[in-house]
């Protein structure tokens, strides 16, 4: 089986993107996803995005993390898939409306060429919680931005041993059974933060996380930041999170780069 794909990234959060409007992949595609995302033997990516048909909207987004498991949402993935769809003629006037497991969203190209995602309503972060892990106590706030996050303020995000602390917090009993993404955050200014994320399903630190940027910005708002909040990612790119207060939470937009790296064809061995 031949699988045409595009390799894309949103702020160095990278994806294998497949036009699946005419379904042809095996179901479930978990094993294929793992092979595609393998950074030694495959294309290499944090996850796989499938562009699928929707009876009412421009398309539907389906996302699998690198471990093969289906995930409810991916912020940078949604922005990349929006650009992929726009470049295939979907939508109108530079805008697409699409279905995700976190709800219906829309995205557009900004004047600067970035992709702005209108995520929609996000419930307020939970109150601060203390968790014991790695022989210390971590204080953070739970935020559900399409997927669960636990956001922890630290003095210097550069000094955090993410590979050590991240797995323990990601699987903490507090978040059982599904676990949570873990974001370590340092405030750099009134409305600017630096973020590093240990991502559930990738089981490693990612260079950026779109839903994590949303969670981090809303955490910063609880600490006094005003919109828009600039989020400096581990890869060096900046994601901008805008939000407006509303009933039951904040209406959120996420803006940043979404770029094509290359295209190719994956030859899937028969019987794999």
Query: Which active-site residues does the annotation give?
Result: 74, 209
Q: Are the beta carbons of 204 and 163 closer than 8 angstroms?
A: yes
Q: Are the beta carbons of 77 and 108 closer than 8 angstroms?
A: no
In angstroms, rounded to a whole number, what is the distance separating the alpha carbons of residues 198 and 175?
Answer: 14
For CA atoms 97, 68, 239, 227, give the dihedral sign: positive
Burial of 44 (0-12, 13-18, 19+ CB in 10 A): middle
In angstroms, rounded to a whole number, what is the distance separating the alpha carbons of residues 176 and 153?
Answer: 22
Give percent helix, percent strand, percent coil of the chain, each to the nearest 5.
20, 45, 35
Q: Are the beta carbons of 221 and 234 closer than 8 angstroms?
A: no
In angstroms, rounded to a whole number, what is the distance separating the alpha carbons of residues 28 and 31?
Answer: 8
In angstroms, rounded to a whole number, what is the distance separating the alpha carbons of residues 22 and 182?
Answer: 36
Angle (CA) 221-101-140 rounded to 5° is: 30
Q: Are the beta carbons of 249 and 122 closer than 8 angstroms?
A: yes
């Amino acid at each position: 089986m031949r699988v045409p794909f595009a390799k894309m990234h949103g702020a160095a959060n990278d994806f294998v993107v497949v036009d699946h409007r005419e379904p042809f992949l095996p179901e479930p595609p978990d094993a294929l996803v793992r092979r595609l995302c393998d950074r030694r033997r495959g294309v290499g990516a944090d996850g796989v995005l499938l562009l699928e048909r929707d009876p009412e909207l421009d398309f539907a987004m389906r996302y699998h993390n690198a471990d093969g498991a289906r995930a409810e949402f991916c912020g940078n993935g949604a922005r990349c898939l929006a650009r992929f769809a726009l470049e295939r003629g979907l939508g109108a006037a530079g805008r697409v409306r699409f279905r995700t497991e976190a709800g219906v969203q829309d995205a557009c190209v900004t004047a600067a060429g970035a992709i702005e995602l209108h995520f929609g309503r996000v419930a307020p972060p939970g109150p601060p919680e203390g968790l014991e892990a790695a022989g210390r106590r971590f204080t953070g706030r739970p935020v559900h931005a399409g997927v669960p996050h636990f956001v922890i303020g630290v003095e210097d995000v550069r000094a955090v041993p993410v590979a050590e602390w991240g797995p323990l917090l990601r699987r903490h009993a507090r978040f059982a059974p599904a676990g949570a993404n873990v974001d370590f955050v340092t405030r750099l200014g009134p409305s600017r933060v630096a973020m590093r994320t240990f991502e559930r399903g990738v089981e490693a630190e990612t260079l950026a996380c779109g839903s994590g940027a949303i969670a981090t910005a809303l955490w910063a708002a609880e600490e006094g930041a005003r919109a828009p909040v600039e989020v400096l990612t581990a890869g060096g790119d900046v994601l901008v999170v805008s939000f407006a207060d509303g009933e039951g939470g904040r209406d959120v937009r996420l803006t940043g780069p979404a770029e094509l790296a290359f295209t190719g064809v994956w030859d899937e061995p028969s019987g794999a």
